[in-house]
């Protein structure tokens, strides 16, 4: 008769799995083997506490995403790797969640200081309670709008956000030392990437970014969502600086004309990621949006199936759109799928060919990661293609 595994055994098994899958620095590994995740998830069965998945701690009634959750442990490890916190560092975490990440940060900074902030009183109380129970009383927990930071404990050597951020607040710049690092799940053009940025005077410059998904921060409303059919089964997500005529798009789809299909020269394997197409397109194209198609719309053939129905890149202009598709072809056993575009509307074909150009640019260097440079919006006009937001300006260079 097999024995039920202990919390220590389950925790080490989880960390072993993450090491096998993606690796992590030795200090992050030590912290993750030390901090008991189950202590921050009271009421959750032990096995679930040590699986590589998110756990909701507070629902958000009427909204598709929870108000707060414990992040996926492998994503936690990845972001701590990006942050590169050092012993003695002063660290600010925006989004207290369960308190687990703050405990990991406390292990990483040793004699340094960790401040974690959350806008929700229940979440802040949960974090304070679990941190005390687990022996991390030295972590400071503040109930406040995280977009304001915590000026009284600044300046910080490291700032990490564990909520999706659409714009980088100027307050964070003010509270980050020159040479300090900021890691955040940054949202632009419908996608989210965990971006690691270093402050260099009046710029934040990236040295890495990873695909991720996070609950959006409360208080930033720059992302818009519009239904393109009466049943709300087809949606377009776009940024406030993009001029998207959602009524015209809905009329185009209602016309019930079959999509025109176009194929690129790029093939992929069954497990090969193609999210880099989206990233590549945003570097110089302001028409990139996110298309969301529910399973009901796919089942009813209301629209040609996108590459990833829940989140596919699309180019949108006036009453026309083109979006990424994947078609199975039996020509190449190693890469049996071919990327392409589906087009709707009078300018659909032009948009599809533009999207295929982005696909081909990605195909020429599939693993390339751009460098992101961020400046404050008050710093004046930056050269090259810029994504403008109320408090920051973003540019991507390959």
Residue 106 tokens read as 């406390």
DSSP per-residue letters across 309-377: TTSEEEEEETTEEEEEEEEE-SS-SSS-EEEEEEEESTTHHHHHHHHHHHHHHHHTTTT--PEEEEEEG
How many Å apart are CA 92 and CA 70, to the nearest integer? 18
Residue appearing with tokens 């090969």 = 272
Cα distance between residue 158 and residue 91, in whole Å: 5
Angle between helical axes of 100-109 and 73-83 (0-180°, round to 10): 40
Query: How far, in Å, CA of 338 to CA of 43, rounded?
Result: 46
* DSSP one-letter string for 93-143: EE--TTSHHHHHHHHHHTTSEEEEEES-HHHHHHHHHHHHHTT-TTSEEEE
Query: What DSSP state is assigned to residue 146?
Result: G
Please state, in angstroms and rounded to a whole number, the distance separating the CA atoms of residues 131 and 380.
Answer: 43
- Token couple for 202: 């009046």
* Residue 71 appears among annotated catalytic residues: yes
Count of CA atoms in the C-beta half-sphere (13 A) of 18: 25
Strand 68-70 to strand 55-58: parallel, antiparallel, or no bridges (unpaired)? antiparallel
Structure tokens at 35: 């901090």
Choose the catalytic residue: 2, 68, 71, 206. Answer: 71
Of 74, 26, 78, 80, the C-alpha closest to 50 is: 74
Residues sharing a CB contact under 8 Å with residue 132, sequence separation 6 or more, in sequence order = none
Residue matched to tokens 């998830």: 41
Please name which of 166, 159, 279 lies closest in space to residue 218, comparing C-alpha atoms.
166
- The answer to whether 60 and 46 are in contact (CB under 8 A) is no
**Nearest by Cα to 343 from 232, 230, 249:** 249
By annotation, the residues acting in catalysis are: 71
């Amino acid at each position: 008769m097999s024995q039920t595994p202990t919390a220590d055994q389950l925790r080490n098994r989880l960390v072993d799995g993450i090491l096998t899958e993606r690796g992590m620095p030795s200090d992050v590994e030590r912290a993750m083997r030390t901090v008991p995740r189950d202590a921050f998830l009271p009421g959750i069965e032990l096995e679930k506490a040590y699986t590589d998945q998110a756990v909701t701690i507070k629902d958000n009634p009427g909204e598709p995403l929870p108000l707060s959750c414990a992040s996926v442990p492998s994503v936690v490890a990845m972001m701590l790797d990006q942050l590169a916190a050092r012993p003695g560092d002063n660290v600010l975490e925006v989004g207290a969640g369960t308190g687990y990440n703050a405990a990991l940060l406390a292990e990483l900074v040793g004699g340094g200081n960790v401040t974690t902030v959350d806008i929700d009183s229940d979440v802040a109380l949960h974090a304070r309670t679990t941190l005390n129970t687990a022996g991390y009383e030295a972590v400071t927990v503040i109930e406040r709008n995280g977009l304001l930071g915590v000026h009284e404990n600044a300046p910080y050597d490291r700032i990490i956000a564990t909520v999706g951020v659409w714009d980088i607040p100027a307050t964070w710049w003010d509270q980050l030392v020159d040479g300090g690092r900021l890691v955040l799940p940054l949202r632009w053009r419908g996608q989210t990437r965990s971006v690691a940025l270093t402050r260099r005077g009046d710029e934040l410059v990236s040295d890495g970014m990873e695909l991720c998904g996070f609950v959006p921060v409360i208080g930033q409303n720059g992302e818009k969502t519009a239904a393109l059919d009466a049943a709300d089964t087809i949606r377009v997500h776009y940024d406030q600086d993009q001029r998207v005529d959602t009524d015209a798009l809905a009329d185009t789809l209602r016309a019930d004309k079959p999509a025109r299909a176009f194929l690129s020269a790029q093939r992929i394997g069954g497990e090969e990621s193609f999210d880099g197409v989206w990233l590549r397109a945003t570097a110089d194209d302001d028409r990139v949006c996110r298309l969301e198609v529910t399973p009901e719309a796919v089942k009813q053939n209301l629209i040609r199936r996108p590459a990833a129905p829940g989140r596919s890149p699309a180019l949108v202009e006036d009453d026309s759109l083109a979006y990424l598709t994947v078609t199975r072809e039996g020509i190449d056993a190693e890469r049996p799928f071919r990327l392409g575009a589906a087009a709707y509307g009078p300018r659909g074909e032009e948009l599809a060919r533009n999207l295929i150009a982005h696909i081909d640019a990605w195909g020429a260097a599939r693993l390339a990661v751009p460098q992101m440079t961020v400046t404050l919006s008050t710093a004046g006009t930056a050269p090259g293609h810029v994504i403008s937001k109320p408090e920051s300006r973003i540019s991507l260079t390959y």
